[in-house]
């Protein structure tokens, strides 16, 4: 039986905001089960007793466009507390007799709000009389419904927080779910625990059970192919499927020749020997390097690698008779599509190069069990699935591998030099207990040679660039500030031990304006 039928929940009705998944995530973080549904797909009779609270998300529509087929306003007549966020706040006001209009001053970004009245919703939210919140709206409430009161106002939004009849309706014009809103999580916590009075009922274990359950339902008795890279995401997907369907899972690991040092050995050891999965190892090193010969353009490199993957997959998948699905470790921030996850109005998400062209050509249906999760949640899930720390805490590694850490031509000689430099760098981070403080670190080999002097002799060798960044999700990043001693130690190690490098530089740019990878 699926978990969701039994559990008390917070129902999130999605109107297409970019931030809806963040609401879901915040509630999960607070240890409560929630479900997300499109405003077009829910009516009041479908809402059962185990729904303890409803959140109406933001969205790009105008409230006066909300006809009956777009929102069943009877939902607001149920005796369940409702929190409206941004557009959701305007919906609550509109259907209770208030009025909405376009704001004179559209508000995007940080705004100060000032406390005007008490409410359970803002308990401990204001540390002083004012606080900073994140606004993103063009319309606003200009006439409150009867029996509603103002809880807080900003310069441009008189009704920044409101409370309605009998502690049932709450509206916030800003976005408490984004981290830019100071203490935004307190608003959500107050709503779910103090107002809806739901109890904690959600953990990584539940998440695991739910996802295994969903995967089983989706694939039935069919075979699934999984492209394993050895990185966190594909490892977690593979192990989740392994638990769900066991030997009906066929993993394939392709050695592109552009992997980190000893990566292929580790992957085979972990997945074939330790976790006893069906794992096919394909050494395509020669093919990849031949295709990449003399290629210098970053986008062409990526395309060649992507196409080569597709070819190998197509060939391999034909050998697995009855394979109907392809499992991918797509995460929520990777989703390119402009459609929101529930099929509500558009909510564009920054496009990312993680979701490849793999499936389109292959006529396999996709299994993407992690597509609503964020990286840190995937890591927690990985631990729950008994994947060890050495897999879960690994820094991200891009699909095109070392090819995009080697601007210019790719040669076997350069790959070997780079693998070794990267290995020393990562080893030094681990030895100095820095590895887990850094989100991603790597060595790159720049296509320039510089002059050096070693043992009274002139050298003319490559330049090695080290990059180490802190980040939450890879979307933005800052460089990590090492102590001089560490930089000195690793620079000496690389230059003294690797023939081919005589100079080391450290990348001190953030993202933006740079990206994490060089290409």
In degrees and rounded to multiples of 5, residue 223 shows phi and psi of -90, 150
From the list 107, 163, 177, 517, the catalytic residue is: 177
- Each residue 423-462 as x (binds ligand XMP by CB under 6 A) or -, in order, gives -----------------x----------------------
Q: Which residue in the set 171, 176, 230, 399 belongs to the binding site for ligand XMP (CB under 6 A)?
A: 399
CB of 96 to ligand XMP, least distance (A): 44
Question: What are the residue ranges of helices labelled H in 258-362?
Answer: 263-267, 285-292, 298-319, 358-362
- How many residues make contact with ligand XMP (CB under 6 A)? 12
d(CA 208, CA 380): 10
d(CA 253, CA 103): 54
What does the block give as tokens for 364?
A: 């396999």
Stretch that binds ligand XMP, among 31-39, 308-316, 384-392, 398-406 (CB under 6 A): 398-406
Per the annotation, the verdict on 464 as an active-site residue is: no
CB of 407 to ligand XMP, least distance (A): 13
**Does 401 interact with ligand XMP (rule: CB under 6 A)?**
no
SS3 content of the chain, % helix, strand, coil (to 5): 35, 25, 35
Q: What's the Cα-to-Cα distance from 110 to each of 131, 134, 179, 184, 379, rounded to whole Å?
A: 10, 5, 11, 13, 31
Closest to ligand XMP by CB, 382 or 398: 398
Closest to ligand XMP by CB, 96 or 471: 471
**Does 515 interact with ligand XMP (rule: CB under 6 A)?**
yes
Tell me the torsion sign for CA atoms 350, 310, 256, 291: negative
Per the annotation, the verdict on 180 as an active-site residue is: no
Going by DSSP bridges, is the β-strand pair 279-283/323-327 parallel, antiparallel, or unpaired? Answer: unpaired
48 exposed, middle or buried (CB, 10 Å; 0-12, 13-18, 19+)? exposed
Closest to ligand XMP by CB, 107 or 422: 422
**Does 324 interact with ligand XMP (rule: CB under 6 A)?**
no
Per the annotation, the verdict on 86 as an active-site residue is: yes
d(CA 222, CA 325): 8
**3-state SS, residue 108:** strand
- Residues 255/282, Cβ–Cβ less than 8 Å: yes
Q: Which residue has the tokens 């995009």?
A: 404
**Does 474 interact with ligand XMP (rule: CB under 6 A)?**
yes
From the list 175, 251, 461, 464, the catalytic residue is: 175
**3-state SS, residue 14:** strand
Closest to ligand XMP by CB, 396 or 452: 396
Q: Which residue in the set 185, 210, 353, 414 belongs to the binding site for ligand XMP (CB under 6 A)?
A: 353
Q: What's the Cα-to-Cα distance from 155 to each of 32, 103, 114, 180, rounded to whole Å?
A: 34, 12, 9, 18
**Does 398 interact with ligand XMP (rule: CB under 6 A)?**
yes
CB of 227 to ligand XMP, least distance (A): 11
**Does 400 interact with ligand XMP (rule: CB under 6 A)?**
yes
CB of 306 to ligand XMP, least distance (A): 8
**Does 511 interact with ligand XMP (rule: CB under 6 A)?**
yes
Q: Which residue in the set 38, 131, 347, 354 belongs to the binding site for ligand XMP (CB under 6 A)?
A: 354
Closest to ligand XMP by CB, 359 or 396: 396
CB of 184 to ligand XMP, least distance (A): 25
Stretch that binds ligand XMP, among 139-147, 446-454, 499-507, 510-518 (CB under 6 A): 510-518
Q: Which residues pair with 219 in a beta bridge?
A: none
d(CA 408, CA 447): 6
Pick from 479, 506, 477: nearest CA to 490:
506
**Does 235 interact with ligand XMP (rule: CB under 6 A)?**
no
Among all residues, which ones are annotated catalytic?
86, 175, 177
- Contacts with ligand XMP, residue ranges (CB under 6 A): 353-354, 396, 398-400, 440, 474, 511, 515-517
């Amino acid at each position: 039986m699926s978990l969701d039928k039994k559990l008390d929940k917070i129902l999130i009705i999605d109107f297409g905001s970019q931030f809806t998944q963040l609401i879901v995530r915040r509630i999960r973080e607070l240890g409560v089960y929630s479900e997300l549904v499109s405003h077009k797909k829910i009516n009041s009779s479908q809402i059962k007793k185990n729904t303890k609270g409803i959140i109406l998300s933001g969205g790009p529509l105008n409230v006066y466009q909300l006809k009956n087929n777009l929102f069943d306003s009877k939902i607001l007549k149920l005796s369940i507390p409702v929190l409206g966020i941004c557009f959701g706040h305007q919906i609550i006001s509109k259907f209770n007799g208030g009025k909405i209009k376009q704001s004179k001053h559209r508000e995007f970004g940080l705004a100060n709000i000032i406390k005007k009245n008490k409410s359970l919703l803002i308990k401990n939210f204001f540390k002083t009389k004012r606080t900073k919140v994140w606004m993103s709206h063009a319309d606003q409430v200009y006439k409150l419904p009867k029996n509603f009161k103002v809880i807080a106002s900003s310069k441009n939004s008189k009704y920044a927080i409101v409370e309605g009849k009998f502690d049932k309706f709450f509206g916030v014009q800003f976005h408490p779910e984004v981290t830019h809103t100071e203490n935004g999580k307190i608003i959500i916590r107050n709503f779910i625990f103090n107002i809806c009075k739901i109890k904690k009922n959600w953990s990584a274990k539940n998440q695991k059970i739910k996802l295994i359950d969903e995967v089983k339902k989706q694939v039935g008795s069919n075979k699934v192919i999984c492209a394993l890279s050895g990185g966190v995401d594909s490892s977690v997907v593979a192990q989740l499927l392994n638990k769900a369907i066991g030997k009906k899972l066929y993993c394939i690991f392709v050695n592109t020749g552009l992997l980190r040092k000893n990566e292929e050995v580790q992957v085979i050891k972990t997945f074939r020997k330790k976790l006893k999965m069906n794992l096919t190892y394909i050494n395509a090193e020669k093919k990849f390097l031949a295709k990449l010969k003399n290629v210098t353009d970053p986008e062409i490199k990526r395309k060649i690698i992507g196409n080569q993957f597709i070819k190998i997959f197509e060939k391999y998948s034909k050998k697995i008779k009855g394979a109907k699905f392809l499992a991918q470790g797509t995460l929520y921030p990777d989703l390119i599509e402009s459609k929101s996850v529930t099929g509500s109005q558009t909510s564009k998400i920054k496009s990312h190069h993680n979701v490849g062209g793999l499936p389109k050509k292959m006529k396999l249906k996709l299994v993407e069990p992690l597509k609503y999760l964020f990286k840190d949640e995937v890591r927690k899930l990985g631990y729950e699935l008994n994947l060890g720390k050495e897999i879960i805490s690994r820094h991200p590694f891009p699909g095109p591998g070392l090819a995009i850490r080697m601007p210019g031509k790719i040669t076997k000689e350069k790959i070997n030099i780079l693998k070794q430099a990267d290995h020393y760098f990562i080893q030094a981070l681990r030895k100095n207990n820095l590895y887990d403080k850094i989100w991603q670190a790597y060595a790159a080999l720049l296509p320039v040679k510089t002059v050096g002097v070693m043992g009274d002799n002139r050298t003319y060798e490559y330049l090695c660039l080290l990059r180490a960044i802190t980040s939450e999700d890879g979307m933005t990043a800052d460089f990590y500030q090492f102590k001089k001693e560490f930089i000195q130690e690793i620079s000496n190690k690389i230059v003294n031990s690797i023939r081919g490098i005589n100079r080391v530089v450290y990348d001190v740019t953030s993202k933006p304006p740079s990206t994490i990878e060089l290409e």
